[in-house]
Amino acid sequence: MTNLESLLSPLTFLGNLIEEQDQLTPLKEYESWWRAEGMAISEAVDRAGTPWLRMFDQFGTRVDEILFPPDYWKMLKRGYQAGVIWRPFANGSGASLRMHYLLDYVTCFFDAGLGCPYIVSMSTAVPLKKYGAPELQARYLPHLLRRDESVWQGATWMTEAKGGSDLGANVETTARNAGDRWILNGDKYFASNVGAELAIVAARPEGAPKTPQRGTGVSPVNHAQDARATFTPHGLALFLAPRYREDGQLNYFIRRLKNKIGTRSVPTGEVELRDSEAYLLGRQEWGIYLILESLNLSRVGNIAGSVALAQRALADALTFAAGRVAFGRSIIEHPLLRRQFEERFAQLQDARALMWETIHLLDQVWQEIPRYSDRYHLFRLVAHLAKYWTAELAVQFAKWGMEVHGGMGVLAEYSAERWLREAMILPIWEGTPHRQMLDGLEVMERKRAHQMLFEHLAPHADQSELQHISARIEQHLHLPAEEKEAGIESIFRDLATFTARTLARKR
């Protein structure tokens, strides 16, 4: 019979994935802190709902202060101190992001929304490190890497009111070249971690074209191969914008905080850029690649958060089922419920393997710049599959956890309903299921990433299964364009399941 108890701790469940002792110690301390203090804080922050925004101080000066309770800031800073940002940068050139995602995992087991600030901070630090001019790095990077309470946060602001998938068409924020800096004007509509000290911002340099209105996805990777230096797909560039101008004034304004169903421990808002000072990251014509690189990082964070939340939902359901008695025994001992737990536990193990592989692949490619290697495209396909599949798992487990709780599951007093509210963002941000499927389709079509995947999986796969799915995909790729797109769902889901199950077998 399965050892379901390993569900109760994120580190126990991750188990021997964590090979290095010097990683395990801070992770264990971090998990202990959550149990001793963080859980109660997190529950209180969720219960308090959307915080207020104090736009002006009482003398009428604009301040845009987010009124979280003090405990929130303590909880938030704890992860930075544990090393969610500074650790990956501490090892010099052979940097691995694993420790970032492991800390994300532990975080999201306890507070699924709190992973977001860490993830977007990393998605700010990495492009600054990779693409920032030396003096820009010197000025800003040390703030992001601090190990104490004075640490700065990052944020990634792309989406505008007309929607997030089709950035090429919908970004209306403009960037004007003003010599040593750029001047940004526009509104960002879903601005996560909205009070951050630094943000990377997608904007359209004056004179750059809008996306030609064809094609299906944001993914411009294929265009890159053909690209000439003078061509800017989608016309976007990526900028770094600090919260305060050089003269100490606010450099952007928070119009309001969004009232969300979940993830209340990350403040999401609307941002107004009004002659905001910003600095170009990388080459102007690479903008969309940099945006997608940033999305790679946060997408993997989403995967880690999804698996962690799925685990948490099962863990709480297990605790409930062990304590609740019906028909003379605890309900975990009822055969049907027991079976359901075991099936979900097995799925969770598959998800863990898929997550881990995605992190490893990212570690191999995250320092690449255009033009990218084949490995990069393999990573992209796996990330699309994993993002889609793990987020779905998180939602379904959270839903099922509520059912296990029965009537208790819908009461705001207890945790079960929270996990569903938290989970629902996971399939949505960093790209909806539709986007994962369509972008996954594209990288298969254009890069034949599925072939690389099958080669990658072959040593561990059931060969007949592998051949079957491989044939289905080849066949599908020969369909007419409309039908290829329309029918992608089931094949994509099966490919994800196959990949996860095969990877789980690998270990």
Binding to its own copies (CB under 8 A) within 358-397 occurs at 395
How far apart are CB 229 and its own copies at their closest, in Å? 26
Q: DSSP secondary structure string, 211-222? A: PPS-SSSS--HH
| Count of residues of this chain found to bind its own copies when the rule CB under 8 A is applied | 96
C-beta of residue 348 within 8 angstroms of C-beta of residue 307 = yes
Distance CA 7, CA 476 (A): 38
How far apart are CB 186 and its own copies at their closest, in Å? 13
The residue range among 6-14, 98-106, 120-128, 424-432 that interacts with its own copies, by the rule CB under 8 A, is 424-432
Contact with its own copies (CB under 8 A) among 144, 297, 314, 425: 425
63 binds its own copies (CB under 8 A): no
Distance CA 32, CA 26 (A): 10
Give the CA count within 13 Å in the CB-facing half-sphere of 265. 33
Distance CA 109, CA 27 (A): 13
299 binds its own copies (CB under 8 A): no
How far apart are CB 478 and its own copies at their closest, in Å? 16
Contact with its own copies (CB under 8 A) among 368, 465, 485, 494: 485
Binding residues among 106-135 for its own copies as defined by CB under 8 A: none
Other beta carbons less than 10 A from residue 323's beta carbon: 10
C-beta of residue 475 within 8 angstroms of C-beta of residue 491 = no
What does DSSP assign to residue 36? I
Binding residues among 70-99 for its own copies as defined by CB under 8 A: 70-71
Distance CA 485, CA 200 (A): 32
Mask of contacts with its own copies, 440-479, x by CB under 8 A? Answer: ----------------------------------------
Distance CA 174, CA 407 (A): 51
Distance CA 104, CA 254 (A): 26
Which CB sits closer to its own copies, 211 or 276? Answer: 211
Which CB sits closer to its own copies, 402 or 461? Answer: 402
Which CB sits closer to its own copies, 92 or 328? Answer: 328
The residue range among 14-22, 121-129, 137-145, 331-339 that interacts with its own copies, by the rule CB under 8 A, is 331-339
Contact with its own copies (CB under 8 A) among 15, 69, 142, 207: 69
Distance of CA 406 to the CA centre of its chain: 31
Contacts of 21 (CB under 8 A, 6+ apart): none
Six-digit token pair at 260? Answer: 């969300």
C-beta of residue 118 within 8 angstroms of C-beta of residue 99 = no
Nearest to 316 by CA among 6, 41, 7, 105: 7
22 binds its own copies (CB under 8 A): no
The residue range among 79-87, 194-202, 282-290, 414-422 that interacts with its own copies, by the rule CB under 8 A, is 414-422
How far apart are CB 51 and its own copies at their closest, in Å? 9
Contact with its own copies (CB under 8 A) among 35, 90, 91, 162: 162
Nearest to 236 by CA among 275, 199, 289: 289
Contact with its own copies (CB under 8 A) among 12, 56, 209, 468: 56
How far apart are CB 337 and its own copies at their closest, in Å? 6
Q: How far apart are the two ends of the chain, measured CA to CA in Å?
A: 20
How far apart are CB 162 and its own copies at their closest, in Å? 5
Which CB sits closer to its own copies, 44 or 458? Answer: 44
Contact with its own copies (CB under 8 A) among 80, 157, 239, 320: 320
Binding residues among 232-291 for its own copies as defined by CB under 8 A: 255-256, 258-263, 270
Contacts of 501 (CB under 8 A, 6+ apart): 350
CA distances from 35 to 7, 32, 437 (A): 15, 5, 38
Contact with its own copies (CB under 8 A) among 9, 137, 185, 216: 216
Contact with its own copies (CB under 8 A) among 129, 130, 245, 334: 334
410 binds its own copies (CB under 8 A): yes
3-class DSSP state of 20: coil
Mask of contacts with its own copies, 142-161, x by CB under 8 A? Answer: -----------------xxx
Which CB sits closer to its own copies, 248 or 327? Answer: 327
Distance CA 380, CA 377 (A): 5
421 binds its own copies (CB under 8 A): yes
Amino acid at 208: A
